[in-house]
Amino acid sequence: MKSFLNFIKNYYTLYAMLLVVGSGLFAYFVDYKNMERKNNKKEAKISKFIGLTYIIGGILLYILVIFI
């Protein structure tokens, strides 16, 4: 377990967090609207959920890495 946490701490940097949050923002705003415009309601909800998960999870993981 400790080696896994060290791996995360070494490789999850600010740039990695920005990449994850950026992907989440793209999924939440751009992909969600495209799916909704194409009348794919179920896929739009999934895209919105994935976007929120990436945004919140990316930020929380970075905060966790700072305090480890």
DSSP string, the chain: -HHHHHHHHHH--HHHHHHHHHHHHIIIIIIHHHHHHTT-HHHHHHHHHHHHHHHHHHHHHHHHHHH-
Per-residue pLDDT tens for 56-67? Answer: 999 999 999 998
Q: Say what the pLDDT of residue 58 is.
A: 96
pLDDT of residue 6: 86
pLDDT 10s digits, 1-48: 788 888 888 899 999 999 999 999 999 999 999 999 999 999 999 999
Q: What is the pTM of this model?
A: 0.86
